[in-house]
């Protein structure tokens, strides 16, 4: 089944304890992205990756890191989590984004990771 998976689905941690949220897709998509969703603010893009070893900042990258060593995986790393990073996080992937093409493909989303930082 074609899908985007995230782990863990739920995580409660404490301030300053490094954590990684994994994201994997089995559709051979080039583009992957991380979003956070907060009440009243909607979904905001944290980081995205155009392909292996190519990543760039979204709108709210502070406090986050990513890596794209393999096409299928795009982990989100919080080196020193803080309470303001408590949120619902989504990973998404897309075959391509439009640049260099005449159209952009749809995004496919993972189930989400609810993170609470105490």
Partner 1 sequence: KQEVTQIPAALSVPEGENLVLNCSFTDSAIYNLQWFRQDPGKGLTSLLLIQSSQREQTSGRLNASLDKSSGRSTLYIAASQPGDSATYLCAVKPTSGTYKYIFGTGTRLKVLA
**Residue closest to 47 by CA, chosen among 36, 37, 39:** 36
Pick from 26, 70, 98, 118: which binds partner 1 (CB under 8 A)?
Answer: 98
- DSSP conformation class of 110: -
Selected range binding partner 1 among 15-23, 64-72, 76-84, 93-101, rule: CB under 8 A: 93-101
Residue 103 CB contacts under 8 Å (≥ 6 apart), including other chains: none
State the binding string over 1-30 for partner 1 (x if CB under 8 A, else -). Answer: ------------------------------
Nearer to partner 1, 59 or 70 (CB): 59
Residue 59 touches partner 1, criterion: CB under 8 A: yes
Distance CA 55, CA 48 (A): 6
Distance CA 79, CA 83 (A): 13
Decide: residue 58, CB within 10 A, 0-12 exposed, 13-18 middle, 19+ buried: middle
Pick from 8, 18, 20, 56: which binds partner 1 (CB under 8 A)?
Answer: 56
* Chain residues that interact with partner 1, rule: CB under 8 A: 31, 33, 35, 40-45, 48, 50, 56, 58-59, 88, 90, 92, 97-99, 103-112, 114
């Amino acid at each position: 089944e074609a899908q985007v998976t995230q782990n863990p689905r739920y995580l409660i941690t404490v301030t300053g304890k490094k954590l990684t949220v994994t994201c994997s897709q089995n559709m051979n998509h080039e583009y992957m992205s991380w979003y956070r969703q907060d009440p009243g603010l909607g979904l905001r893009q944290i980081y995205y990756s155009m392909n292996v070893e190519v990543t760039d900042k979204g709108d709210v990258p502070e406090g986050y890191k990513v890596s794209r060593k393999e096409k299928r995986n795009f982990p989100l790393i919080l080196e020193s989590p803080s309470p303001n990073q408590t949120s619902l996080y989504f990973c998404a992937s897309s075959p391509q984004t439009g640049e260099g093409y005449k159209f952009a493909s749809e995004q496919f989303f993972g189930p989400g990771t609810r993170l609470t930082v105490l």
